[in-house]
Amino acid sequence: MTEETLKNITLPKHIGIIMDGNGRWAKSRGLERTEGHKAGANTFRTICDYAADLGIEYITFYAFSTENWKRPHKEVSTIMKIFRDYLDEANEREAENEKRGLRFHLTGEKKGLPADIVSKLTTLEKNSADKDVMTVNLAINYGGRDEILHSVKDIAQKVKSGELNPDKITEDDIEKGLFTAGQPDPDMIIRPSGEYRLSNFMIWQAAYSEFIFMDIMWPDFTPDDLDKAIIEFNKRNRRFGGV
Ligand code: FPP
């Protein structure tokens, strides 16, 4: 994006991205689906750095859903290896993260993930906790309904212990129990791959998000496509229920 364009637009504060189409990208090239995920991980790296350079404050990448465990074992284990390799790399590139000011945060259930991945994620979260340029939410083992359930259980515990009066439960109480607690809702959610669904992604937080659907596969997504999405977002008239 040129400096000039950047000056004349409103950047979304929080962008959600559903990284879809890796499998079809690979298939169309006669490759194994797992090759698509490897290419998708490279796109993730590029877009993450580009978003930080643009000045985006929060970005959430939907990397693995609670439903994705149903995929063939080989595919799941390759995706887990991609996460491992990326987390090692991110933990090792401390100086680069420092420079970019990336704060990493898992928005997903630790329970159910391999122990070594949880440990690498925890290290990354801990070492980047004081960075303040862009928060990168990694939605791994994530489901929107599961996230709301998580929050409801927290609330039920507080009601049980007498800390919270059921008549006084507010939307804020639900928000506090989400993995994105304290963060602004996504202004814009991008889904490439030509599918028009939310697929259980940030279903609470997406109440007023603008949806941008794009007809390209995630591995082909470039910084230029992010620019296009942001420009499209700027054409939308957001009313939040008002007039
Ligand atoms: C959806 O495409 C993609 C996934 C389920 C996995 C996404 C994972 C990555 C891109 C790796 C991210 C990496 C890091 C390091 C966070 P699909 O397989 O559903 O594609 P299809 O709809 O064409 O089959």
pLDDT tens-digit readout, 69-104:
999 999 999 999 999 999 999 999 888 888 889 999
Q: Determine what percent of the chain is predicted with pLDDT higher than 70.
A: 100
Question: Which residue minimizes the CA distance to atom 10 of ligand 1?
Answer: 40
The best mutation among 17, 18, 20 to test binding of ligand 1, ranked by most ligand atoms within 8 Å of the C-beta, falls on: 20
Indicate the residue type of 130.
D
Rounded distance from Cα 185 to ligand 1 centre (Å): 23
Phi, psi at 207, each rounded to 5°: -50, -40
CA distance 41 to 36: 9
Q: Is 20 a catalytic residue?
A: yes
CA distance 149 to 80: 25
Does residue 62's CB lie within 6 angstroms of at least one atom of ligand 1? no
Does residue 84's CB lie within 6 angstroms of at least one atom of ligand 1? no
- What pLDDT does 240 receive? 82
- What pLDDT does 56 receive? 98
CA distances from 202 to 11, 98, 152 (A): 20, 28, 15
pLDDT tens-digit readout, 110-126:
999 999 999 999 999 99
Does residue 41's CB lie within 6 angstroms of at least one atom of ligand 1? yes
Q: Which of 60, 21, 5 is nearest to 227 (CA)?
A: 5
- What pLDDT does 115 receive? 98
Q: Is 8 a catalytic residue?
A: no
Mean pLDDT of the chain: 96
Does residue 191's CB lie within 6 angstroms of at least one atom of ligand 1? no
- What pLDDT does 94 receive? 81
Does residue 201's CB lie within 6 angstroms of at least one atom of ligand 1? no
- Hey, which residues does 106 pair with through a beta bridge? 138
pLDDT tens-digit readout, 123-160:
999 999 999 999 999 999 999 999 999 999 999 999 99
CA distance 52 to 230: 14
Provide CB contacts within 8 A for 52, sequence distance 6+.
100, 101, 102, 133, 134
Does residue 44's CB lie within 6 angstroms of at least one atom of ligand 1? yes
CA distances from 157 to 53, 115, 149, 193 (A): 41, 27, 12, 41
CA distance 191 to 197: 8
The best mutation among 34, 37, 80 to test binding of ligand 1, ranked by most ligand atoms within 8 Å of the C-beta, falls on: 37
User: Residues 45-61: what's their mean pLDDT?
Assistant: 97
